[in-house]
């Protein structure tokens, strides 16, 4: 069971989650629990890591505020006084460690990817002991562990570190299984791990879901339950489209497509470990536990409609490479991708016109300018490329569903629906898997586009 930050961000929720865990233990389940940072805390830490290098940084003030928030929750969620003492001591130590770290960044006026991950690790390291304390207070036998203590080892690609799968699985099994066999519940920090040289890494945003499925695969569990604040994976983000409905059943490939395209802010690789071991993943609502949620399996029984969901990725940038020199010149695309690939920049979407004089790409917003300048350096003046332009205020809207495969006219319906709302489409792409059709629109139009497609395929309704 993995609990998202939205399920843990006040004392009542923390106690509710502890109660839920205890209820399933009473029913005879054997459990491993994974906890995220309280909602918003990872974003706060990210901001601190960025702002710490400023001359006017109020490091002590920020750290105190964060600490007080966690202490406040601990005091109300942990009723056993011994457990509370342990939790408070842990939080105090973490507070001091974080303060020193941020002052370090402040004095050298620089945050590196490695020190940023170190800062980001505090979210899960502060939330998990509180959940441990809350569980201990209601008589659950439990132990808390960091992702690295549990056995997850990654490469050193800070911010998006990749676990060494086999090694991590082996260690997770040998370290967690004995705890379970003793009748204790391991409570593990999501999102964070260590590299082989021992520095702290993060798995990428939404990485707690990934931690959970990795543990699940290592222990070959029966199911993974990702507890969140909505009933499951939905036909659209309910914050954008209020009529969005919970999808009862999805195949792994559809769910991977949806999450990679922004649904539920889940880590794009989070479903991989479960998919490889064929372990069903359920997405469920912490605050509505009687609802079965969405189940993701390799062989869903329900066929579903043509389009199952509409997703949205914000914070992306569009790059347009143009030049008649590219026409009929093999290897131009390869060259572009190589330049970006060498710099570790992930291309999220590509499209090329048949005339070959134009290639458009979508990259994460955070690396847009770096990508543009790399391409300018490598390609301008070569005679191949005349112009490189970019747009930073765009979003990707995608329609996802197995039913689109081999169904002519789906793209036409999508574009018509969006156009009829007066939204201009900047770029289009469809993978040959035909599992999704993605379009790029101006950021300001993106919610309108989501609603237009949702309506066209009548995805909404009462739950």
User: Which residues bind to ligand ADP, rule: CB under 6 A?
Assistant: 4-6, 36, 39, 206, 228-230, 233-234, 236-239, 263-265, 309
Contact 117, 202 (CB under 8 A): yes
Residue 190 site contact among ligand ADP, Mg ion, ligand ASP, none (CB < 5 to 8 Å, cut-off depends on kind): ligand ASP
Q: Which residue, 391 or 445, has its beta carbon nearer to ligand ADP?
A: 445
Q: Which residue, 123 or 151, has its beta carbon nearer to ligand ASP?
A: 123
Of residues 94, 36, 40, the one with CA closest to residue 63: 94
Min CB(163)–Mg ion separation in Å = 18
Q: Which residue, 236 or 446, has its beta carbon nearer to ligand ADP?
A: 236
Residue 299 site contact among ligand ADP, ligand ASP, Mg ion, none (CB < 5 to 8 Å, cut-off depends on kind): none
Q: Which residue, 171 or 436, has its beta carbon nearer to ligand ADP?
A: 436
Give me the residue label for tokens 């865990």: 21
Residue 225 site contact among Mg ion, ligand ASP, ligand ADP, none (CB < 5 to 8 Å, cut-off depends on kind): none
Q: Which residue, 54 or 265, has its beta carbon nearer to Mg ion?
A: 265
Residue 205 site contact among ligand ASP, Mg ion, ligand ADP, none (CB < 5 to 8 Å, cut-off depends on kind): ligand ASP
Q: Which residue, 57 or 396, has its beta carbon nearer to ligand ADP?
A: 396
Q: How far apart are CA 210 and CA 216, in angstroms?
A: 10
Q: Which residue, 40 or 328, has its beta carbon nearer to ligand ASP?
A: 40
Min CB(287)–Mg ion separation in Å = 15
Q: Which residue, 41 or 453, has its beta carbon nearer to Mg ion?
A: 41
Min CB(239)–ligand ASP separation in Å = 16
User: Binding residues for ligand ASP, per CB under 6 A?
Assistant: 4-5, 36-37, 42, 123, 190-191, 205-209
Min CB(107)–Mg ion separation in Å = 33
Residue 230 site contact among ligand ADP, Mg ion, ligand ASP, none (CB < 5 to 8 Å, cut-off depends on kind): ligand ADP
Min CB(47)–Mg ion separation in Å = 18
Long-range interactions of 299-305: CB distance < 8 A, separation 24+: 299/251, 300/249, 300/250, 300/251, 301/249, 302/248, 302/249, 303/402, 303/403, 304/247, 304/249, 304/250, 304/401, 304/402, 304/403, 305/401, 305/403, 305/457, 305/459
Residue 123 site contact among ligand ADP, ligand ASP, Mg ion, none (CB < 5 to 8 Å, cut-off depends on kind): ligand ASP
Min CB(262)–ligand ADP separation in Å = 7
Q: Which residue, 95 or 284, has its beta carbon nearer to ligand ADP?
A: 284
Residue 182 site contact among Mg ion, ligand ASP, ligand ADP, none (CB < 5 to 8 Å, cut-off depends on kind): none
Which residue, judged by CB position, is nearest to ligand ADP in the bound state? 4
Count Cβ atoms below 10 Å from residue 82 Cβ, excluding itself.
Answer: 11
Min CB(265)–ligand ASP separation in Å = 7
Residue 6 site contact among Mg ion, ligand ADP, ligand ASP, none (CB < 5 to 8 Å, cut-off depends on kind): ligand ADP
Q: Which two tokens stand for residue 49?
A: 């890591």
Min CB(311)–ligand ADP separation in Å = 6
Residue 207 site contact among Mg ion, ligand ASP, ligand ADP, none (CB < 5 to 8 Å, cut-off depends on kind): ligand ASP
Q: Which residue, 209 or 241, has its beta carbon nearer to ligand ASP?
A: 209
User: Binding residues for Mg ion, per CB under 5 A?
Assistant: 4, 206, 265
Q: Which residue, 206 or 317, has its beta carbon nearer to Mg ion?
A: 206
Residue 308 site contact among Mg ion, ligand ADP, ligand ASP, none (CB < 5 to 8 Å, cut-off depends on kind): none
Contact 54, 21 (CB under 8 A): no
Min CB(270)–ligand ADP separation in Å = 10
């Amino acid at each position: 069971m993995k609990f998202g930050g939205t399920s843990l961000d006040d004392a009542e929720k923390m106690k509710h989650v502890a109660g839920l865990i205890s209820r399933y233990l009473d029913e005879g389940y054997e459990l491993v629990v994974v906890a995220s940072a309280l909602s918003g805390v990872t974003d706060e830490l990210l901001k601190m890591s960025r702002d710490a290098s400023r001359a006017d940084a109020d490091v002590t003030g920020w750290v105190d505020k964060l600490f007080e928030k966690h202490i406040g929750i601990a005091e109300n969620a942990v009723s056993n006084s011994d457990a509370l003492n342990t939790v408070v001591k842990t939080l105090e130590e973490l507070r001091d460690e974080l303060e020193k770290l941020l002052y370090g960044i402040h004095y050298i006026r620089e945050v590196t990817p490695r020190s940023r991950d170190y800062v980001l690790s505090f979210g899960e390291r502060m939330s998990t002991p509180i959940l441990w304390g809350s569980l201990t207070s209601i008589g659950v036998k439990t132990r808390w562990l960091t992702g690295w203590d549990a056995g997850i080892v990654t490469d050193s690609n800070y911010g998006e570190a990749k676990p060494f799968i086999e090694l991590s699985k082996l260690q997770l099994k040998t370290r967690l299984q004995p705890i379970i066999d003793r009748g204790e519940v391991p409570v593990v920090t999501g999102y964070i791990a260590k590299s082989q040289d021992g520095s702290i890494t993060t798995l990428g945003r939404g990485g707690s879901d990934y931690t959970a499925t990795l543990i699940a695969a290592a222990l070959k569990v029966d199911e993974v339950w990702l507890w969140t604040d909505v009933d499951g994976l939905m036909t659209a983000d309910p914050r954008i489209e209020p009529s969005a409905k919970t999808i009862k059943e999805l195949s792994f490939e559809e769910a991977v497509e949806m999450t990679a395209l922004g649904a539920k802010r889940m880590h794009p690789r989070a479903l991989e470990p479960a998919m490889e071991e064929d372990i069903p993943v359920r997405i469920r609502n912490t605050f509505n536990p009687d609802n079965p949620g969405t189940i993701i399996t390799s062989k869903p029984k329900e066929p579903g409609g043509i389009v199952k969901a509409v997703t949205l990725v914000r914070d992306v940038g569009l790059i347009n490479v143009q030049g008649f020199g590219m026409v009929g010149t093999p290897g131009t695309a390869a060259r572009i991708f190589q330049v970006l690939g060498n710099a570790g920049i992930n291309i999220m979407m590509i499209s090329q016109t048949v005339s070959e004089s134009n290639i458009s790409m979508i990259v994460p917003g955070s690396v847009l300018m770096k990508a543009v300048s790399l391409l300018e350096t490598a390609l301008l003046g070569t005679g191949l490329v005349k112009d490189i332009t970019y747009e930073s205020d765009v979003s990707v809207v995608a329609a996802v569903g197995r039913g689109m495969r081999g169904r002519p006219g789906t793209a036409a319906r999508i574009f018509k629906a969006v156009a009829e709302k007066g939204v201009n489409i900047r770029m289009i792409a469809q993978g040959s898997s035909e599992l999704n059709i993605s379009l790029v629109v101006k950021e300001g139009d993106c919610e309108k586009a989501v609603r237009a497609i949702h309506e066209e395929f009548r995805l909404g309704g009462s739950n």
